[in-house]
Every structure is written in structure tokens, then in C-alpha cells.
Amino acid sequence: MSEADTPPDKTTVNIRITETFLADVDGTWEELGYNSRSEFIRDVLRDAVKHPEFNRADLKAMLAGEVDIQNGRTYTSDEVKSEYGLGSEQSDRRNDE
């Protein structure tokens, strides 16, 4: 095996978390089908480093939207435009062009 084919050395990192949070982490990695807690944590950290623009607020908004969809709470584009006052204003602008 050449040096280029050798995986990089790994370092052990210790963290302190509550037993409750650890139970949540363990339930999550097992539910998602990871082979180990370490594999799951590496993936989560890798995602956080590679995509720093993706934050907890974005995740919560996406999850809330998914729950709405699963519960049948969906809206047509006309309903959204009406709620935010975008319907006729946008149409008028397009007609002027």
C-alpha cells in the first residue's frame, strides 16, 4: 500500500455531555443505521465544518415544514401570495413589462 493510499491518522477526542444527551445521540445513530457512535459523530462534525451556512434555525424550519406536509397542512402558491400580500402587486408589475 502506497503512502497516498494510507488513510490519515486519527486522534481521539474526549467530550463531556449529559447522560440524557448521550442517550439521544445513541438512539439517533442506531436509528439512522450507523455502525458506531464515532462514525455518526464524525459525519455530523464533517457536515458542520463543510456546510457552516446550514444552521440550527434552518434545520428547525425545514423540520417544521416537513411536519406540516406530513400532517396535510400544505398551501397553494395563491394562498401564500394572498397571505403575504403578493398576489395582485406581482401580477400588475408583470403586466406593465
Query: What is the rounded distance in angstroms from the CA atom of residue 82 to the CA atom of residue 23?
Result: 45
- Per the domain annotation, does 4 fall within a domain? no
7 has a pLDDT exceeding 60: yes
In the block, which residue shows the cell 395563491? 78
* Segment 38-91, tens digit of pLDDT: 999 999 999 889 988 878 788 788 888 888 888 998 988 998 899 898 876 555
37 has a pLDDT exceeding 90: yes
- Per the domain annotation, does 56 fall within a domain? yes
Alpha helices in 12-55, H assignment, sequence order: 19-31, 37-50
- Per the domain annotation, does 10 fall within a domain? no
State residue 1's pLDDT score. Answer: 55
State residue 89's pLDDT score. Answer: 53
- Per the domain annotation, does 69 fall within a domain? yes
Which residue range forms the structural domain that includes residue 39?
17-96
82's enclosing H/E stretch is helix 77-83
**28, 40 contact by CB (below 8 A):** yes
Name the domain count of the chain: 1
- Per the domain annotation, does 70 fall within a domain? yes
Least trusted range by pLDDT, from 10-14, 29-33, 62-66: 62-66
- Per the domain annotation, does 59 fall within a domain? yes
